[in-house]
Structure 1
Amino acid sequence: MFTLAQARHLMATLCPRIDELVLLRADLAELRADLAGGSQSPHGGLAEVKGLEARIYGILDELNEHDIQVKGVAPVLLDFPGELDGRPVLWCWLEGDGEIRWYHRLECGFSGRRRI
């Protein structure tokens, strides 16, 4: 369980890794598109696809090790288990958010997001 302050602090600490994830995701998308079109890619070939995937999975594993729930990678969507007014919630961060400013009840999911 994270307090809101703990979740925000951890998110700020992990921002460089999230930025790296976004860059790797874009490189992988371009590489796959180039290979599917039969053209050369500045990002490499099939071996580089596997390498990029491994690096992405490594970052996702790191997030999971912090007990962060990864709900999406395109866009990146992260949930941090917490509690608000005695009720279990998930502090919710979506790619593009400056900091954690949303939460939702466990049973409501993304569609139940509310501003903190």
Structure 2
Amino acid sequence: MEERGSPVHLETVHHCASARLVVACPVNYYLLPVLHKYFTLDQANRTLPLVRRIVADITALYPAWRDLVYRYELASAQARPEQGESPEQLAVRAEIDGVARRINSYLQELEQIGCVFKGFEAGLVDFYGKLDGRDIFWCWKQGEDRIDHWHDLESGFAGRQPIPAVVGGGGAA
């Protein structure tokens, strides 16, 4: 596998009516170029048993994280800013941070494999690859048995296309 760059995790700041909440948010942003791993189609498919388990953990935790953030925002709307965070806000923030840490640890596992996690709702994962000499993503979605699609680096999920039969037999061009 050739290496080039991967996503960077940042914290997300939630502004609430009465408080400012900084949460380690499970969101990838592409701000700095770092190394990527390039996969043949066969190599990417061989990672799927592990990738499936990690993505299942992420997509199971994400709704809980989102619901906790919503609870915090509701509590903030009812709080008095001059009194700081209420005990309820502090407790919910601690839960948010715990869930976010777990999600981020799973995202780091995917990064170590060389995957790019793209979607909390659908469990989208891309693998850098090459097709006809150009950089592409091999595209996998939670629930799929194997990687059957690819897209340009810029087009995203909307640009998904079936992998040509010539490539589908084993390796990337």
TM-score range, shorter chain: 0.7 to 0.9
Q: Unpaired runs of 5+ in structure 1?
A: 39-43
Residues 4-24 of structure 1, C-alpha deviation per residue, up to 9 Å, x if partnerless? 111111122221111110111
How far apart are the structure 2 equivalents of 1:53 and 1:36?
16
Detail structure 1 runs of 4+ shifted over 6 Å in the superposition. Answer: none
Structure exhibiting the larger radius of gyration computed from Cα positions: 2
Preserved CA contact (<8 Å) 1:63 1:69: yes
Preserved CA contact (<8 Å) 2:44 2:127: yes
Query: Helix, strand or coil for the counterpart of 1:23?
Result: helix
Residue 87 of structure 1 is matched in structure 2 by 134
The higher-RCO structure (CA 8 Å, 6+ apart) is 2
Q: Which amino acid aligns with 2:69?
A: R
Preserved CA contact (<8 Å) 1:25 1:56: yes
Query: Helix, strand or coil for the counterpart of 1:45?
Result: helix
Describe the shift of the 1:106–1:45 C-alpha distance in structure 2 as closer, same or farther (beyond 3 A): closer
- TM-score, scaled to structure 2: 0.56
Matched, 1:113 2:133: no
How far apart are the structure 2 equivalents of 1:94 and 1:27?
21
Q: Note the C-alpha offset of 1:50.
A: 0.4
Percent identity of paired positions between Structure 1 and Structure 2:
34
Preserved CA contact (<8 Å) 1:24 1:56: yes
Q: Unpaired runs of 5+ in structure 2?
A: 1-37, 76-90, 164-173
Residues 35-83 of structure 1, C-alpha deviation per residue, up to 9 Å, x if partnerless? 4444xxxxx7221110000111111111112221223333332210112
Describe the shift of the 1:61–1:111 C-alpha distance in structure 2 as closer, same or farther (beyond 3 A): same
**Alignment equivalent of 2:53, drawn from 3, 9, 16:** 16
Q: Which amino acid aligns with 1:61?
A: Q
Preserved CA contact (<8 Å) 2:71 2:92: no
Preserved CA contact (<8 Å) 1:12 1:99: no
Matched, 1:65 2:102: no
Q: Note the C-alpha offset of 1:103.
A: 0.2
Q: Note the C-alpha offset of 1:94.
A: 2.5
Q: Note the C-alpha offset of 1:102.
A: 0.8
Aligned residues: CA RMSD:
2.2
Residue 63 of structure 2 is matched in structure 1 by 26
